[in-house]
Chains A and B, each alone.
Chain A
Amino acid sequence: MKHLHRTGPAAALAVAASLALAACGGGSGFDDSSDPSTDGGGGGEAIQILIGSSGDAETQAVEEAVAAWSEESGTEATVQAATDLAQELSQGFTSNNPPDVFYVSTDALAGYAANGSLLAYGDQLANADDFYPTLVDAFTIDDQFYCAPKDFSTLGLVINTRLWKDAGLTDADVPTTWDELADVAETLTQGKVVGLTFGPEYQRVGSFFPQAGGSMVSEDGSEATVDSPENLEALDFVQQMMDDGVASYSSTLGAGWGGEAFGKELAAMTIEGNWIAGAMQNDFPDVDYTVAELPEGPAGPGTLAFTNCWGIAAQSGNQDDAVSLVEYLTQADQQLTFADAFGVIPSVQSAAESYAADRPEFQPFVAGAEYAQNPPAQEGAADVIADFNAQLEGLEGGDPQAILESVQQSMQAVVGQ
């Protein structure tokens, strides 16, 4: 009995304490959003911006642009570069204190939209009609245009000019078909240098799918089309090049990504996006390269497009200012500045002409925008892609058919929801 008496007060105290703290925790943390619409009217509250930056160049460019907007609008704004964007955003949403404006990737969009953390503000933008339609599609769910495309990138074939010449190749040899690609890769494979490299992931290997006529999901997004003869043909082709020793994953070469393997001259060609320009300039300024469109497959040209958008939190207390900030950041002039700073392609059509004129060497990336495929963006697709990537790591010596079958199954579970 005595024992009971001892624990009694302690337990009571603990319960009371936790209840008390839960209560005040709720007051200050969970429920203080009040109604965002009531104080959304440009109250002059400072705007918080969280970006998943690719590096100092990008952070600085965004900081400068935001500072210029602050000056113009008189609203304070602070930029923070996240170390782990997904985690930091999640913490913000769960505590009802998210940043006002932040980067959202296509694969995270559906999840955030479904749990109501995103403001669907796309139609409020004055320049809403200026964005490339495919990019608008990428950020539209159930006819709601959620957020403004920040910029975009496509994949191209990046070629080391020195190794190209050393191998006796000329401009006329730039591959335009799969066979030619395999041929030049073989010619370029010499000694420790492998012909072609790319990361062990769908985001690179997957560029062969549209070239063969394949895709991950059907046009209307209602069905998984991973397990198709076209995709199998693409994987077989990639596997064949690896078996022949003319193509290697960047990880097999001991590099973190294709650009690193390419910059270290472990490979003569790589499949990468326009962001490689910044990396080459910073890390490997002595390596000369040219960019070509990815070669056509049996079904024609194909590449993948990647994009992010400027998300605005539904819980933000300063939505009007946030929308005006995004409008500022996505106007043509500003996007051209970003393009100079960190190598992205503007997401608005009005900037296209000036962009292409000033950067002829990037023409292949821009050309890719016409036929690029968006990676699947259904809620939960990111997990499926992650699983696909894990299986693609074992493509060399693996069974492409089995990989496609298992990914088909998990993708169908996602789109069938």
Chain B
Amino acid sequence: MTTASIRRGQNRDGWLFVAPAMLLLAVFLAFPVLMALWVSVSDWRGVGSPFSGDVGFVGTDNYANILTGGSLQQRDFGTAMRNNVYYVLLVVPIQTAVALGLAVLVHTKALKGRGFFRTAFYFPSVTSAVAITVLWLFLFNSTGAVNAMLGWVGIDGPNWFGDARGIIHTALGAVGVDAPAALTDHRALGITWWEWLAGPSFAMSAFILLAVFTTSGTFMLLFIAALNNVGDEVEEAGMVDGANAWQRFWHLTLPMLRPTLFTVLTLGLIGTWQVFDQIYTGTQGGPAKTTLTPAYLSFQTSFNSQRWGEGAAIAFILFAIIVVLTLLQRWALREKS
């Protein structure tokens, strides 16, 4: 028997072994994705099969409805994008920094009870998103624990989940800056530039804190694993060269954590663009749509408004955004030789 024929047999067996997994992937992943893609370019109304004869192809109409025309749908999508952009811009860097900081802390050999702290920091990640959102609603109630604590230091806390003002608008308002006409007269995705610059609302800020609180623990674990792989000798070599602790961290440890950093940032980016559970259980997009996100809008558009094509189209736009941003980030963090 030649090696080639042996390998041929191995090939066939290999495919046989992975076939069940492939089958499952095809049925539960590939097929629904293709189906949704079809729905996004069809006029399906949510009754019966999208592949039945009376469902027509409408080309890019659904996409156009969301992206152009100044309709309510476009305004909602623009608002959802605005909200989510702030969410991503704040959550991803903060959760990465916090996770890295915690990892470095609990990695220090001098720290007593490291196991306890690791568990404590990781704990929020294990609890269910729904339970922790409900907890958050209580904590950030206008008469809740957070505002009570702010009261101790003399701050009159906002009505977190009822206040629709953006924090940038609020800050600008405090120093007397009002909407300039140049920004209110021009629109992008149906909402004015001034609205784009609103910043996250107080409700969204509470969700941002929630996300940092729940995900930092998970990413801390990834960083701990990576730190364990950075040998002590690197650290010692730095000391010999006379680098102080900050220089050793910044110039030696951090560059060696680059692959993990990439993973954490990518996972963070994907997770934050898909934020849904908290919105669904917490605020349903309110107050005044300031916690509306594309993922929730997609659900809302499909199930509540019966606009299935547009709902699917939003999902695919979201998919495209995630892919493009991940590629961009990959390019930005590439190893420069």
Residues of A within 8 A of B (CB): 5-6, 9-10, 13-15, 17-18, 21-22, 26, 29-31, 33, 84, 86-87, 90, 93-94, 96, 111-112, 114-117, 200, 249, 251-254, 315, 380, 382-384, 387, 390-391, 393-394, 410, 413
Q: Within 8 Å CB of A251, what residues of B?
A: 159, 162, 287
**Which segment, of B244-252, B302-310, B321-329, faces chain A?**
B302-310
The A/B interface has a contact count, at CB < 8 Å, of 112
CB contacts (< 8 Å) of B306 on chain A: these are 90, 111-112, 115
| Least CB distance, B3 to chain A, in whole angstroms | 13
CB distance A114 to B45 under 8 Å? yes
Give complex CA distance A21, B26 in Å. Answer: 9
Q: Mark B247-285, 1 if CB is under 8 A from A, else 0.
A: 000000000000000000000000000000000000000
Q: Which one of B46-54, B84-92, B103-111, B209-217 is at the interface?
A: B46-54
Within the assembled complex, what's the spacing in Å between the Cα atoms of A112 and B76? Answer: 22
Check if B46 sits within 8 Å of A26, measured CB to CB: no
- B residues whose Cβ falls under 8 Å from a Cβ of A: 11, 15, 18-19, 22-23, 25-27, 30-31, 34, 45-49, 51-52, 71-73, 75-76, 141-143, 159, 162, 164, 286-289, 302-306
Bound-state Cα–Cα, A86 to B11, Å: 49
**15 interchain pairs, CB-CB under 8 A:** A13-B19, A17-B26, A22-B31, A29-B49, A87-B304, A94-B48, A115-B306, A200-B287, A254-B159, A254-B162, A383-B73, A390-B164, A390-B288, A413-B71, A413-B72
Which chain A residues lie closer than 8 Å to B162 at the CB level? 249, 251-252, 254
Residues of chain B lying within 8 A (CB to CB) of residue A249 = 162
Question: Would you call A10 and B15 a contact (CB within 8 A)?
Answer: yes
Query: Which residues on the A side are within 8 Å of B76 (C-beta)?
Result: 383, 387
Please indicate the chain B residues that have their CB under 8 angstroms from the CB of A94 in the complex. 46-48
Chain A residues with Cβ under 8 A from B25's Cβ?
A: 14
Chain B nearest CB from A247 CB (Å) reads 15
Q: Within the assembled complex, what's the spacing in Å between the Cα atoms of A18 and B305? A: 30
A338 nearest CB across to chain B (Å): 26
Question: Closest residue of chain A to B301, judged by CB?
Answer: A383
- Is the beta-carbon distance between A26 and B304 smaller than 8 angstroms? no
In whole angstroms, what is the CA distance A341 to B106 when docked? 58
Per CB-CB distance, the 10 closest pairs between chain A and chain B, nearest first, are: A30-B49, A115-B45, A254-B142, A251-B162, A410-B72, A393-B288, A14-B26, A111-B306, A18-B31, A390-B288
Nearest residue, chain B, Cβ from A387: B72
Question: B48, A31: Cβ atoms under 8 Å?
Answer: yes
Question: CB < 8 Å: which of A21, A93, A252, A394 contacts B46?
Answer: A93
A14 to B33, CA, bound (A): 14
A6 and B305 form a contact (CB under 8 A): no
